[in-house]
A and B are shown apart, each in its own frame.
Chain A
Amino acid sequence: QKEVEQNSGPLSVPEGAIASLNCTYSDRGSQSFFWYRQYSGKSPELIMFIYSNGDKEDGRFTAQLNKASQYVSLLIRDSQPSDSATYLCAVDSGAGSYQLTFGKGTKLSVIP
């Protein structure tokens, strides 16, 4: 059974701080990794994806991937109250797979 583990939180950070969200996965064959944001009562929306080891930056968001450690993280710089949401990590089932396995999410609260 493929597993994607996230700390459920809640993770509380003050406005303007860096929020760090972490995710570990069990399948060494996984190739692509995704971060989704989900506001309460809404559907998940894609923030970014990463395939290669290292960092990938998109605005205030940075995804970090370490395949050797089976670890992927999301950093949110200059956190805003509007970033308060649940963040879902998702991992594929190997090259060419259609499916993603989702973690249960980390709830982030940004305190004004």
Chain B
Amino acid sequence: DVKVTQSSRYLVKRTGEKVFLECVQDMDHENMFWYRQDPGLGLRLIYFSYDVKMKEKGDIPEGYSVSREKKERFSLILESASTNQTSMYLCASSIPTGAGTGEIGNTIYFGEGSWLTVV
């Protein structure tokens, strides 16, 4: 089974604090992602990484940064937390799927989520 682990499940932070959200996957996946999910807005991609030390901005990178020093670990950093960053944060990793059948896609597997409240 694919295992994506988010170490912090529930956090309460103060405005202006620096926040680290950690994510580890144990399946040697190349690609890792950070999403946030808000009611009515769905899942929105913040950043993704397709290799160690490589990162790409997603749809809503403002106010966030990421770090990927090792293949299995992808961290999301809120440099100065604000109340509008209160959300559920989902880490994910992906693996090419169906290569043996000639059908290529990337299947995404999610961690359990981190609920962040900024007060």
A residues in contact (CB < 8 Å) with B: 31-32, 34, 42-46, 49, 51-52, 88, 90, 92, 95-100, 102-105
Contact = CB atoms under 8 A, between A and B. Distances in A.
B106 A97 contact: yes
A54 to B, nearest CB: 13
B45 A51 contact: no
B109 interface: yes
Question: Interface extent on B, as a size class?
Answer: 20 to 34
Nearest to A44: B110
Interface of B: 31, 33, 40-43, 45, 48, 50, 58, 90, 94, 97-98, 103-113
A105 B40 CA distance: 9
Given A43-B90, A92-B106, 16 more contacts: A32-B103, A32-B105, A42-B112, A45-B110, A46-B107, A49-B105, A52-B103, A92-B105, A98-B31, A99-B45, A99-B48, A100-B106, A100-B108, A103-B42, A104-B41, A104-B42
Interface of B, secondary structure class, is: strand
Contacts of A42: 112-113
B43 A31 contact: no
Interface of A, secondary structure class, is: loop
A32 B106 contact: yes
A34 B107 contact: yes
B43 A102 contact: yes
A31 B31 contact: no
A45 B111 CA distance: 9
Ranked nearest first, the 7 interchain pairs of A and B with the lowest CB-CB distance are: A32-B105, A104-B42, A51-B103, A102-B43, A43-B110, A43-B113, A98-B31
